Amino acid sequence: MKALFGVLLLVLAAGCAPRDDPSTLVVFAAASLSEVFTEIGQDFERDHPGVTVEFSFAGSADLVTQLTQGARADVFASADARNMARAAQAGLLAGDPVDFATNTLTIVVAPGNPHGINGFGDLARPGLDVVTCASQVPCGAATEEAERVAGVQLAPVSEESSVTDVLNKVAAGQADAGVVYVTDAKAAGDRVTSVPVPEIADVVNTYPIAALQDSPRPDLARQFVDAVVTGRELLDEAGFGRP
């Protein structure tokens, strides 16, 4: 019985190890950062032998909710200032956040643009199945601002919890069009066609990043933040703008 109990303890400890291991850095980041942050994480691991970067990508609002409910992480990167402010107000940050990138919106449609969508106003066309992000998600708030700027009222068939969900629905043929970030459209390659929307070019989301207060690896967390802020080449290649 004692031996079995010991084995159970080892299994439980192993299940908890990744977030308690001093060599594992846990980063919560907006879904739109998934590809570029994965590359930044690989570079960080190469420059810090023995360190593993573990990512959790989701909508920024969902990530803040997870953190306020006790989820453990070392770094948080948001797709907007509003959700970073929520994290700050909850006492989650170890210091002031740093802006490291910007992003703008575009329309994605099926390859070849079969419905002939040429501008933001076309998304209000009757019979067109359009998907957007939910309003609490940064891309959703930006889409609402784009509607205001363009003078267009959309009636989406669904509102998703992350920008990648919007992209995937269009790519899978489950929607005729979606509003996503230019970086997501670029990363999707030939899975979708991007329709530029210069009329909403001034709708810009700024991305902040910060180390978290309860991180058991504060030095490593700050080093990762610095790596993101100074790692402009990968961000530029992914299509992100500069703050």
Largest CA distance in the chain: 71
Q: Does pTM surpass 0.85?
A: yes
CATH number for the domain spanning 168: value is 3.40.190.10
In this structure, is residue 195 part of a structural domain?
Answer: yes
Residue 238, phi then psi, degrees to nearest 5? -80, -10
Structural domain count of the chain:
2
- Check whether residue 95 and residue 212 sit in a common domain: yes
- Check whether residue 181 and residue 107 sit in a common domain: yes
- Check whether residue 30 and residue 95 sit in a common domain: yes
Domain limits for position 78 = 2-101+206-238
Residues 225/209, Cβ–Cβ less than 8 Å: yes
Report residue 179 as tokens: 């509003």
In this structure, is residue 10 part of a structural domain?
Answer: yes
The pLDDT of residue 4 is above 70? no
pLDDT at 3: 40
In this structure, is residue 243 part of a structural domain?
Answer: no
Among 201, 205, 197, 107, residue whose Cα is nearest residue 156: 107
- Check whether residue 96 and residue 212 sit in a common domain: yes
The pLDDT of residue 17 is above 60? no
- Check whether residue 200 and residue 214 sit in a common domain: no
Q: How far apart are CA 80 and CA 59, in angstroms?
A: 11
Tell me whether residue 101 is exposed, middle or buried, using C-beta atoms within 10 angstroms of its C-beta: 0 to 12, 13 to 18, 19 or more. buried
Q: First and final CA of the chain: distance in angstroms?
A: 60
Give the pLDDT mean for 145-157: 96
- Check whether residue 95 and residue 146 sit in a common domain: no
Among 35, 54, 47, 20, residue whose Cα is nearest residue 227: 47
- Give the confidence band of 87 by pLDDT, cuts at 50, 70, 90: very high
3-class secondary structure, 174: coil
Is 163 annotated as contributing to ligand binding?
yes
Q: How far apart are CA 104 and CA 183, in angstroms?
A: 8
pLDDT at 23: 87
The pLDDT of residue 100 is above 80? yes
Give the pLDDT mean for 135-158: 96
Q: How far apart are CA 173 and CA 195, in angstroms?
A: 16
Is 181 annotated as contributing to ligand binding?
yes
The pLDDT of residue 13 is above 50? no
The pLDDT of residue 7 is above 50? no
- Give the confidence band of 12 by pLDDT, cuts at 50, 70, 90: very low
Give the pLDDT mean for 169-184: 97
In this structure, is residue 197 part of a structural domain?
Answer: yes
- Check whether residue 126 and residue 188 sit in a common domain: yes
In this structure, is residue 129 part of a structural domain?
Answer: yes
Is 215 annotated as contributing to ligand binding?
no
In this structure, is residue 225 part of a structural domain?
Answer: yes
Report residue 108 as tokens: 């994605």
Is 207 annotated as contributing to ligand binding?
no
Give the pLDDT mean for 76-98: 97
Report residue 202 as tokens: 């001034």
- Check whether residue 96 and residue 113 sit in a common domain: no
User: How many percent of the chain have pLDDT more than 90?
Assistant: 90
- Give the confidence band of 231 by pLDDT, cuts at 50, 70, 90: confident
Q: Classify residue 198 by its DSSP letter.
A: G
Q: Mean pLDDT for the chain?
A: 91
Tell me whether residue 237 is exposed, middle or buried, using C-beta atoms within 10 angstroms of its C-beta: 0 to 12, 13 to 18, 19 or more. exposed
- Give the confidence band of 20 by pLDDT, cuts at 50, 70, 90: low
Report residue 22 as tokens: 């001093």
User: How many percent of the chain have pLDDT more than 70?
Assistant: 91
- Check whether residue 137 and residue 172 sit in a common domain: yes
- Check whether residue 6 and residue 92 sit in a common domain: yes
- Give the confidence band of 22 by pLDDT, cuts at 50, 70, 90: confident
- Check whether residue 84 and residue 109 sit in a common domain: no
- Give the confidence band of 9 by pLDDT, cuts at 50, 70, 90: very low
Residues 232/176, Cβ–Cβ less than 8 Å: no
- Check whether residue 76 and residue 143 sit in a common domain: no
